[in-house]
Amino acid sequence: MNAESNSSPLVRLGRVELTLTSNAGPVHILNGIDLAVDAGETVGIVGPSGSGKTSLLMVVAGLERASGGAVEVAGAAFHELDEDALARERGRNIGIVFQDFHLVPNMSALENVALPLELAGIADPFRRAEEALVRVGLGHRVQHYPGELSGGEQQRVTLARAVAPGPRLLLADEPTGNLDGETGEKIMHLLFDIQAEHGTTLMLVTHEMALAERCRRLVRIGDGRIAEDRLQDAKSASHG
């Protein structure tokens, strides 16, 4: 299915810079990030607030355009694509799980999950969406609207929406940030289970070391730079 060989990284960032303007002057968010993530890898990204970890995720998702350097995801040079091409790449290859869920309030759980499938023109979107919802344990809630679901259920819908199109890259930004401990734990189990089932590449931004340590690889960001990038032993990187 993959066009690239297994040796070619799915995500490659080369000397990526991100500078945003503000009233007080330019703010340097990312300062020369070099990062390669292979297909199937799980990467936990940690760092203090304002270190640039969420910005890094946005650059990888094509939601923020790097001020400098090269960004390649699934063989596409994001730094060369326009906004609509980036949107199409996201639809094809990237699933995103947000801290605040970001479900469309006027759409049912089923319609929310079907949305990226419809946008990508994938056949039979509602059947696939329903399968995804069943997979996250919400087969009985398909016609419910976000306002009728608990926080944990909403995050499950978000997860189902992210994985339903079968993305090669799953980006998760503080996925348990708005959930209580027990619910958060269940969501993380589900996330890693699904990742393992499909062999999806996962980049997980979190401020909780315990979550990050479940990933095979841990990247620590500080002041817009990679301060640490290490593989963890298979035992500690447990997601089962």
Partner 1 sequence: MADGVNALAWRLARRELRGGLKGFRVFVTCLALGVAAIAAVGWLGSAVVGGLKADARKLLGGDVEIRLMHRPTDEAQRSYLATNTARLSESVEMRAMAHAAASGGERTLVQLKAVDGAYPLVGGVTTVPASPLANLLGRDGGMFGAVVDPKLLAKLKITVGEPTRVGKATFRVAGTITAEPDRVTSIVNFGPRLLISTAALAETGLVQPGSLIQYYTKMMLPAGADFASWRGQLDTRFPDAGWRVRAPDEAAPGVKRFIERLTLFMSFVGYTVLLVGAVGISRAVSGYLQGKVRTIATFKCLGSPAGLIVRVYLMQILVLAAVGIAIGIAAGIALPWVALSFLKGLLPVEPVIALYPVALVQAAAFGVLASVTAALLPLGRAREVPARDLFRAAAGALGNRPRPRFLLAVAVGIAGLVGLVFLSSTDKWFALWFVVGAAATVGALALAGALLLRFSRWPRPGNAVLRLVLANLNRPGTSAPGVVLSLGLGLSVLVAVVQIEGNVGRQIAERLPEKAPAYFFIDIQPDQVEAFERVVRSIPGVSDLQREPTVRGRIVAIAGKPVEEVAVAPEAQWAIRGDRSLTAAASPKADASIVAGDWWPADYRGKPLISLDANLAKGFGIGVGDELTVSILGRDITATVANTREIDWSSLRFDFAIVFSPGVLEGAPHSHIAAARATPDAEAKLERAVTDAFDNVSAIHVRDALAAAAELLDGISKAVSAVAAVTVAAGAVVLAGALAAGQQRRIFDAVVFKVLGATRRRIAGTFALEYGLLGLITAAAAVGVGSLSAWGVVKFLMRMDWTWLPWHAATTVAVALAATLVFGLAGSWRILGLKAAPYLRND
Contact 43, 202 (CB under 8 A): yes
Binding mask 101-120 for partner 1 (x = CB under 8 A): -xxxxxx---x---xx-xxx
Q: Of 83, 124, 180, 228, which lies in the binding site for partner 1, with binding defined by CB under 8 A? A: 83
- Which 33-62 residues touch partner 1, going by CB under 8 A? 54, 57-58, 61
Residue 143 found at the interface with partner 1 (CB under 8 A): no
Q: Please identify, among the stretches 1-9, 73-81, 99-107, 214-222, the one whose residues bind partner 1 according to the rule CB under 8 A.
A: 99-107
71 contributes a contact to partner 1 by CB under 8 A: no
Residue 58 or residue 237: which is nearer to partner 1 going by CB?
58
Determine if 88 is a binding residue for partner 1 (CB under 8 A): yes
| Token couple for 149 | 């679901």
Task: Quote the least distance from Cβ 222 to partner 1, whole Å.
Answer: 19
Q: Which is nearer to partner 1, 176 or 237 (CB)?
A: 176
DSSP output for the chain:
--SS-TTS-SEEEEEEEEEEEETTEEEEEEEEEEEEE-TT-EEEEE--TTSSHHHHHHHHHTSS--SEEEEEETTEEGGG--HHHHHHHHHHHEEEE-TT----TTS-HHHHHHHHHHHTT-SSHHHHHHHHHHHTT-TT-TT--GGGS-HHHHHHHHHHHHHTT--SEEEEESTTTTS-HHHHHHHHHHHHHHHHHHT-EEEEE-S-HHHHTTSSEEEEEETTEEEEEEEPPTTTS---
Residue among 39 and 103 whose Cβ is closer to partner 1? 103
- Report the nearest approach of partner 1 to the CB of residue 119 (Å): 5
**CB closer to partner 1 out of 30 and 115:** 115
Binding site for partner 1 (CB under 8 A): 54, 57-58, 61, 63-64, 83-84, 87-92, 96, 98, 100, 102-107, 111, 115-116, 118-121, 161, 173
